[in-house]
Structure formats: C-alpha cells, structure tokens
Amino acid sequence: MSLLKFMGIDETTTQTGYIPPHERFDKYKGDKCWQGHLRELHREEDLKNALLTEEDAAALRTSDFEFEYIPKTDKPKCKQLIKFIERHEWLGKMPTWLTHRFAW
C-alpha cells in the first residue's frame, strides 16, 4: 500500500520506480541500505530539480532549513511529503496512524 492511499489521499499518478517490499528485498543485492541506494539513484535528478550543484549541496547545513509541522488537514503539503518519503525513504511499512509530519 502506498503512503498516499494509507493517508486517504487520492492517488492520481503512478509511483515511478516503486518495487513492492517483498520483491525489493528478494532482488536487491546492493552493498548499501535501501535509502542509500535510492540516494545514489536519484541524486543527479534531485540536484537538478532543486537547482543545486554538488558544491551547493555539500555546503548545506541544518541551519539552512526551517522545519515546520504539517497538519494532516493540509492535504497538498501531505501529498508532497508523502511523495518525498516514497521516493527516498519508503521501506514498505508504516504505523497504524501517523502522528508527526515535518518538512522544511
């Protein structure tokens, strides 16, 4: 189940690169954790989309970001956050309910 469906948000687009967890862990033979693999896989495109160079990204610090709580009623931001999680973090399991959503 995708995070969008899990959170009750309409899924109108397919998730690119999604591999169901049971298939992912059977087939993935890399030497990094799954998120590390996804980081390498998407790095060039992510930098391009963020209008950053490798040097810009290397210079970023946590103080460069403002973190905010995302209420579940803010469906557009939740959808954006979910797409990020599915692209970079998603391991295929979520708790029964989400209690905290933060973004920068």
How deeply is 36 buried, as exposed, middle or buried, from its count of CB atoms within 10 A (0-12, 13-18, 19+)?
A: exposed
Beta strands per DSSP E along the chain: 68-69, 102-103
**pLDDT value, residue 10:** 57
pTM assigned to the model: 0.60
- In the chain, domain spans: 3-103
Contact 88, 35 (CB under 8 A): yes
Beta bridge partners of 54: none
The pLDDT of 86-96, averaged and rounded, is 68
**pLDDT value, residue 45:** 92
Neighbours of 20 (CB within 10 A): 10
**pLDDT value, residue 12:** 56
pLDDT greater than 60 at residue 74: yes
Distance CA 7, CA 77 (A): 12
Mean pLDDT of the chain: 76
